[in-house]
């Protein structure tokens, strides 16, 4: 049987970050999810680096732009296919 341990932390956050938590039902779950996502992202970056890929902020920005462009084309195509 795997036991899940819970620890209590008291943290200080900048106002802009704390404001996000004002709008969620469970701040602890939200923060835990964010940390898990960050850990997964770091693991992916480690695997890519070990495979010889270099991740740069510029490269990430370029890929985000490509994804946004693809999403915009998909939305445009989908709205063109919908009956008027």
Q: What is the pLDDT of residues 8-42, one digit of tens each?
A: 999 999 999 999 999 999 999 999 999 999 999 99
Q: Do residues 48 and 55 lie in contact, with contact meaning Cβ atoms separated by under 8 Å?
A: yes
Q: Do residues 38 and 32 lie in contact, with contact meaning Cβ atoms separated by under 8 Å?
A: no
**What's the predicted TM-score (pTM) here?**
0.66
pLDDT at 6: 87
1, pLDDT greater than 90: no
H or E element in which residue 59 lies: helix 57-81
Q: How many CB atoms lie within 10 A of CB 13?
A: 12
81, pLDDT greater than 90: no
For 42-71, write each residue's pLDDT tens digit.
999 999 999 999 999 999 999 999 999 999
82, pLDDT greater than 70: yes
């Amino acid at each position: 049987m795997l036991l899940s341990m819970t620890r209590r932390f008291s943290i200080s956050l900048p106002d802009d970050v704390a404001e996000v938590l004002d709008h969620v039902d469970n701040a602890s779950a939200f923060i835990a999810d964010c940390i898990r996502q960050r850990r997964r992202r770091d693991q992916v970056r480690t695997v890519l680096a070990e495979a010889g890929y270099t991740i740069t902020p510029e490269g990430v920005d370029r890929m985000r732009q490509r994804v946004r462009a693809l999403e915009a084309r998909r939305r445009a195509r989908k709205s063109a296919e919908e009956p008027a």
